[in-house]
Amino acid sequence: MTAPDDGRFHELIGYKEDVFRICLGFSRNIADAEDLCQDAFLKAFARARDLRQPGSLRIWLLRIARTTCLDHSRRMRRNPIDLADVVPDTAADPRSPEIVSEVNESLRRLKAAVQSLPKKQREVFVLREYGGLSYEDLARVLKLRPGTVMSRLNRARRAITAAMKEEGHERK
């Protein structure tokens, strides 16, 4: 596997934070997200020659990131998320242990809720809420109509909200 020419290489690398945010949304923790981000770029470099419309480089790259993350999610879906997966290292956190614990538990619940979403809703939710994509970009990445994107996003948000409330009540 080799890199594309220097210009395209640097252009691709310029989107690394966009890709990382999406990977973070799909994965359980930051370390996994970094690995996924790396995998996505390796795939992108390998397929750089297939790109027919250089103008849509970002969309093309985000599509690859999405596919890479969904493959990873499929492999990991059978394993339930526990706190150690989501926050492997809390010793270095300067906040008080109570706050850290509460934040981490909220994060674990969110991760579990995202992972429990159907694939179509999960990808829309992550691309929008983590990746910060516009509805238009979402529609282009997923090759859907903007209306469909919004519909799926709506259902995903409802499901996430319900799951977070449900878990919160269970804890109380």
Partner 1 sequence: MNENDTGKPLLDMPEKVRLIIQRETEDGLRRFRAGNFDSRLQAVGRIRPEETKFAPSPFSRVWIPIFGLAVGAIVIISAVLWVSRAKSQLPAANPVTIDAALDALPGFRTLSLFHQTETAENEDFSPAAAMSAAVTSATRSAAAWKETSAPPSGNLVPRYSLEQKMKILFGDKTIEQALSLFKEKFKEV
Cα 15 to chain centroid, rounded: 14
The nearer residue to partner 1, 60 or 130, going by C-beta atoms, is 130
- Token look-up 């849509």 returns 56
DSSP string of 41-96, one letter each residue = HHHHHHTGGG-S-GGGHHHHHHHHHHHHHHHHHHHHTTSPP-HHHH-S--TT--S-
Binding track over 125-154 against partner 1, x by CB under 8 A = ----xx----x---------x-xx-xx-xx
For residues 21 to 40, the per-residue mask of contacts with partner 1, x marking binding by CB under 8 A and - elsewhere, is: x--xx----x--xx--xx--
Closest CA to 106 of 83, 131, 88: 83
CB nearer to partner 1: pick between 57 and 103: 103
- Quick one: 165 exposed, middle or buried, by C-beta within 10 A (0-12, 13-18, 19+)? exposed
The two three-digit tokens of residue 130, written as one number? 């983590």
Check residue 160 for interaction with partner 1 (CB under 8 A): yes
Q: Examine residue 98 and tell whether it contacts partner 1 (CB under 8 A).
A: no
Q: Which of 26, 48, 66, 96 binds partner 1 (CB under 8 A)?
A: 48
Residues near partner 1 (CB under 8 A) are 1-6, 9, 13, 16-17, 20-21, 24-25, 30, 33-34, 37-38, 41-42, 45-50, 103, 106-107, 110, 129-130, 135, 145, 147-148, 150-151, 153-154, 157-158, 160-161, 164
